Amino acid sequence: MNDSVLIEAQNASLEYRDGERVVYAVREVSLRVHRGEFIGIVGPSGSGKSSLLYLLSGLKLPTHGVVRYRGRNYAEASDAERSAMRRERFGFVFQQPYLLGYLTVLENVVVGAPDVRAYRQRALWLLEQLGLGDKAHRYPAALSGGERQRACVARALLMEPEVIFADEPTAALDQQTGLHVLELLEQHRGSGAVVLVTHDPLMLRYCDTVYKLRSGQIEAVERAPAKPVDGSAPPTATL
Ligand SMILES: Nc1ncnc2c1ncn2[C@@H]1O[C@H](COP(=O)(O)OP(=O)(O)OP(=O)(O)O)[C@@H](O)[C@H]1O
Ligand SMILES: [Mg+2]
């Protein structure tokens, strides 16, 4: 397997049983996530975007086909091994920012770290970068929705994950704040790859590759032109 391939789905399907009926949430999808790649997944509601994210991150196993992380077939890994992969290698930002209400913002950001004290400084730095430096000691109930969303982004970035999975991370935000959150994600992901699910074509501006889903299948793939090396504005991928 190509060394830069982190995640590979081969003809992966996810079906749900709905009484007698079988619903294909994802149908024979093949794609690769490369090191450092920024991937967008778009498509109408119910087209299988979240389901595809679950497959790529090993949160769910395909009912047909194979998904591998660094060549390791998720289906051959134990639950413990898969959850260790997620904990150590992946970062997640979900549509509904879930933070633990009894922990401060800072505590929420470091809660998953193996050594909380070792990550405290980085957590504070990330919160600072995300404009939450003065709110690190607040409880989530005292934050706005957008601030909670940003706290979740800080948590996802904390351990410099190889892959960040973000499912509609900007859904609750106005366009300007949404773009700002993505800009920060882009700036602070280091060498990590991003898999971003979004409804909003405007949020695709940092994507290298965009997969458009329909009825669980990839309907179109769009690759952005190579990024300029002079640090000027990145190209926008649009469908
Ligand atoms: N637990 C389940 N049981 C049965 N069907 C399900 C289940 N979860 C999802 N589905 C179905 O699978 C399909 C894909 O769902 P999925 O959540 O992946 O879509 P989505 O593209 O993320 O949609 P949205 O944009 O609304 O979040 C939908 O038809 C949905 O109804
Ligand atoms: Mg979804």
Q: Which atom of ligand 1 is nearest to the CA of 47?
A: 21
Of 105-114, 187-196, 226-235, the poorest mean pLDDT is in 226-235
Tokens representing residue 56 in the block: 């790529």
Query: Please, what is the average pLDDT of the chain?
Result: 90
Q: Which atom of ligand 1 is nearest to the CA of 18?
A: 4
Q: What local confidence, expressed as pLDDT, does residue 228 receive?
A: 56
Mean pLDDT, residues 127-155 taken together: 93
Q: What local confidence, expressed as pLDDT, does residue 114 receive?
A: 84
Mean pLDDT, residues 29-37 taken together: 96
Separation of CA 126 and ligand 1 centre (Å) = 33
Concatenate the DSSP letters of all residues of 152-210 into one string: HHHHHHTT--SEEEEESTTTTS-HHHHHHHHHHHHHH-TT-EEEEE-S-GGGGTT-SEE
Of 84, 44, 80, the C-alpha closest to 216 is: 44
Mean pLDDT, residues 221-233 taken together: 68
Question: Is 48's C-beta closer than 6 angstroms to any atom of ligand 1?
Answer: yes
Q: What is the pLDDT of residues 136-146, one digit of tens each?
A: 999 999 999 88
Q: Best of 13, 14, 15, 16 to mutate for ligand 1, by most ligand atoms within 8 A of CB? A: 16
Q: What local confidence, expressed as pLDDT, does residue 177 receive?
A: 83
Question: Is 59's C-beta closer than 6 angstroms to any atom of ligand 1?
Answer: no
pLDDT band at 35, cuts 50/70/90?
A: very high
- With a cut of 50, say whether residue 234 has pLDDT above it: no
Helix then strand count (H, E) for the chain reads 6, 10
Residue nearest (by alpha carbon) to ligand 1 atom 16: 48
CATH code of domain 37-55+79-223 = 3.40.50.300
Domain locations along the chain? 37-55+79-223
Q: What is the pLDDT of residues 171-225, one digit of tens each?
A: 878 888 888 889 888 988 888 999 999 988 889 999 999 999 999 999 999 998 7
What distance in Å separates the CA atoms of residue 96 and residue 152, rounded to the nearest whole number?
10
Share of the chain above pLDDT 90, in %: 68
- With a cut of 50, say whether residue 235 has pLDDT above it: no
- With a cut of 60, say whether residue 66 has pLDDT above it: yes
Share of the chain above pLDDT 70, in %: 93
Q: What local confidence, expressed as pLDDT, does residue 230 receive?
A: 54
Separation of CA 197 and ligand 1 centre (Å) = 13
